Structures are given as C-alpha cells and as structure tokens.
Amino acid sequence: MNGWLVAALVLLAGGLLPALWLGATGPAVRRLIGLQLAVVVLVPELILLSMAFGQSSYLIVPVVLVAASFAGTLVYTRLLKAGG
Amino acid sequence: MSVLTAVLVALGILVVIGCAVRAAAARDDLVRLHMLAPVTALGVPLLGLGVAITASWTWTTGTVVLIVVLLAVTGPPLTGAIANMIAATEQEDR
Amino acid sequence: MTILVCAVLVLVAVTGTVVVTTRDPKAQAVTLSVYGLVLALLFFALQAPDVALSQIAVGSALVPLMVLLAVRTVGKGVGKGRDAK
C-alpha cells in the first residue's frame, strides 16, 4: 500500500461516486454531463493507478480514453439532439 | 514521493473531488456543466505537475504532459457541444 | 490492492443494475457508456491495460453510435407503421 494507491482510492470514493450518480439518474442530457464528468475524473484516477503499479507503459490507457471519449461525446451530442 | 509531489497531488485531488461533489449537488444542468472546466484546467494539471516532478525527464513525464494537454484542449469544445444540446432541448420543451 | 479491486467490483455491479433498470433507451445508452468506463477501470485495476484499452475503444466510441442509430431506426419504423394504419 503506497501513497499513490491511497490517493487513487480517495479519488475513487470522492470523485467517481458523484460522477456515477450523475450518470445514472435523470434524463439523457443530465446523464451525458455525468458521463463527461466520469471521464474527466477517470483520467487522473488512471494516472495515479499506473504510478501505484510503477508501470509507466500503462499511461497509454488514459491517452486513448481522452481521445475516444472526445469522439464518443460528440456522437452523443449529435444523435441525441437530432433524435429530439 | 517527495513532499512537493504529495502536496501537488493532494491539491489536484481536492479540486477534482470538490468539483465532482458540487456538480452532483447543483440543481441546474448548466451549473453542473460549469464544474467540468476547473477539473480539466486546474485539477488534472496540478496532479500532472506533481507526477512530472517525481518522474523528472522520463517517458512518464512526457505521456502525462500529453494527457494533460489533450484533456485541456478537448474540454472546452465538448462543454460547448453539450451546452448547445441543452439549449436545443430546452427550446423543444417550450 | 484488494480493497481497490473489491470497491471497483461493487461499482461494476451497481452500475450494471442501474443500466438494466433504466427504461428510456436514450438515457440507457448514456448509462451504458458510464458502465463501460467502470468496466475499463476494473480491467485496469486487475493490471490488464490491454483489455482496458479495447474496452475503452469499443465502449466509448462504437457502442454509443450503434445503439443510438438502432434506437433512431426503430423509432422511425414505429412511426411509419402508425401512418400506414
């Protein structure tokens, strides 16, 4: 149990839980904000975890997460709006 | 982990947690949306700086800087797109 | 490490249940994406970053596109059926 892991656990409890709650209640628009918040919280969480594991090669995952979530959120804003 | 790194990482985590809690507690969707910006522009960069100081000039630092820059660049367009969608939805409701 | 894996496993279970109990297909699609993120975090916590990478690539870009296009097509089909009657 090192300092990075403690930081990751704190971020998991304090940051990811509100984001998940936001992403699981209300209409689709509010859930989309929750999804975006979850991505933004998950990126530092993954950085902290790869530091905790001591594996810098794991850092490719948050890079791909940022890029893929950009495309995914644009798809959502496009299709949810067009569908009414 | 040095003291400076610990302080920077702790500050970054505090900013992220504060914004997430306030976003969940807010009543208006636009107020929730405003809580995304401090995370991408302040919280994650602080944390990334802490990691960069520990790792010094290695690939770790390079990748973390790439992540921070990507997140800061993609944040505002996404916020704008979601805000447009909220505005369109509210107009339909009226 | 065990605490982390246990916590994320509980999150996966809770989020999956929420996806199943959601009624509106569009809201369900967004929550499905959130579920994909939590699943990716689980794979990452189990030190399988390659699996997490595939999960993120599929779950956050392809799934929303396919699900929302399917919902849209089904909705159009229902509308046409009513017009025909």
Per-residue pLDDT reduced to its tens digit, A23-56: 888 787 888 888 999 999 999 999 999 988 888 8
Digit-coded pLDDT (tens) for B25-80: 888 888 888 888 888 888 899 998 888 888 888 888 888 899 999 999 998 888 88
Q: Which two structure tokens, joined as six digits, stand for B16? A: 């992220």
- Cβ contacts from A onto B, under 8 A: 126
Q: Does C65 touch chain A (CB under 8 A)?
A: yes
Residue B3's pLDDT is what?
Answer: 84
Question: Torsion-angle region of residue C47: left (phi > 0), alpha (psi -120 to 50) or beta?
Answer: left
Angle at the Cα of A82 from the Cα atoms of C53 and A30, rounded to 5 degrees: 60
Digit-coded pLDDT (tens) for C1-49: 788 899 899 999 999 999 899 888 888 888 888 999 999 999 999 988 9
Digit-coded pLDDT (tens) for C37-79: 999 999 999 988 999 999 998 888 788 888 888 888 887 776 5
Sign of the alpha-carbon torsion through C10, C16, C21, C24 = positive
Task: Assess whether pLDDT exceeds 60 at residue A14.
Answer: yes
Q: Does B53 touch chain A (CB under 8 A)?
A: no
Find the length of chain C: 85
Residue A83's pLDDT is what?
Answer: 55
Partner-chain contact C40 A60, CB within 8 Å: no
**In the structure, do chain A and chain B come into contact, i.e. share 3 or more CB pairs under 8 Å?**
yes
pLDDT, mean of residues B11-23: 89
C neighbour chains, 3+ CB pairs within 8 Å = A
Residue C39's pLDDT is what?
Answer: 92
Residue C66's pLDDT is what?
Answer: 87
**C17 in Cβ contact with C52 (< 8 Å):** no
Domain segments of chain C as ranges = 2-84
Rounded Cα distance, B24 and A34, in Å: 8
> C55 versus A80: which is more confidently predicted?
C55
Q: Does A75 touch chain B (CB under 8 A)?
A: no
Count of domains forming chain A = 1
Range of the domain at A20: 3-82
Task: Assess whether pLDDT exceeds 60 at residue C82.
Answer: no
